[in-house]
Amino acid sequence: MQVIASIFDMQSTAENLRSKDRLIGLVPTMGALHEGHLSLIRLAKERADTVIVSVFVNPTQFGPSEDYTNYPRDLGRDLDLCEKAGADLVFTPAVEEMYPKGFSTYVSEELISKPLCGISRPAHFRGVTTVVAKLFNIVRPDLAVFGQKDAQQIAVIKKMVNDLHFCVDIVTAPTVREPDGLAMSSRNRYLTATQRGEALVISQALHKAKEMVESGVHNTDRLIAEATHLMGNRRRVRVIYASIVDRCTMEAVREVLPGKAMMAIAAWVDEVRLIDNILL
């Protein structure tokens, strides 16, 4: 497995792969890898000849009071996990090269990025679309794999790809959960055992909503009321939003049309911000 840090080297290596007709799959990550990330690498491996994983903690997607500085970083372990999962190359650009002094060009999706996380993290998706556009320009992959765990991120990226004519297939990988249902996340490592126990209520609330839909409840007010009630019973959990939205546009819906709607939750567990979602 090759490790490349320089943007120029990454561009020329990708160019060389393309000249040999190798299908390139990209898996963008911020490192602190877990089984969720590894499932993306394995899926990319099934669909592409060469799998490139990027590991880059992207400063522009963090708000001023967020955890950019303290975000978990463990490159040695990440490289090991990438190799075991079948990655061919890991791209680890330096922040100074991705965002040199005077950097002033951003990519911003203006519709799908506004609701849900866009309300409490107003600059977040601009940072995501900017870094993903940069990675797409550097690597020029044939396909890129993202996790359903970050459902709004996928919808925003698909819109960007469509609006800006990027030639890349966006592949969605299902959310990987711990055996008890907690969605895997790099931020789970911030949780104490007590906080982790309380965080479980997020996936429980989502699964409860899905059960209710399956038993015939389609009114979103009732589904949201039940989910927020469940989460309200946990002392450390503060709900940022619990919404039922169209899974493509992220617009709130009043009635659940099976196959089209999704429940998305963001919540603080003490000072740790977690998100999760379920297709209804």
Q: Which residues contact ligand AMP by CB under 6 A?
A: 29-30, 36-37, 39-40, 146-147, 149-150, 173, 175-176, 183-186
Smallest separation, CB 19 to ligand AMP (Å): 28
Q: And the tokens for 42? A: 């394995």
DSSP 179: T
User: Distances in Å between the alpha carbon of 88 and those of 4, 30, 32, 83, 175?
Assistant: 11, 18, 18, 7, 23
148 vs 243, which CB is nearer to ligand AMP? 148
CB of 229 to ligand AMP, least distance (A): 25
**244 forms bridges with which residues in the sheet?**
263
Smallest gap, in angstroms, from Cβ of residue 191 to ligand AMP?
A: 14
Q: How far is the CB of 236 from ligand AMP (least distance, A)?
A: 21
Residue nearest to ligand AMP (CB): 147
CB atoms within 10 A of CB 88: 21
How many Cβ atoms from other residues are within 10 Å of residue 260's Cβ? 15
Comparing CB distances to ligand AMP, the nearer of 39 and 50 is 39
Smaller CB separation from ligand AMP, 62 or 146: 146
Residues that are catalytic? 37
Task: Compute the Cα dihedral for 105, 26, 191, 247 and give only its sign.
Answer: positive
Backbone conformation region of residue 140, classed left if phi is above 0, alpha if psi is from -120 to 50, else beta: left
The residue among 141 and 147 lying less far from ligand AMP, judged by its C-beta, is 147
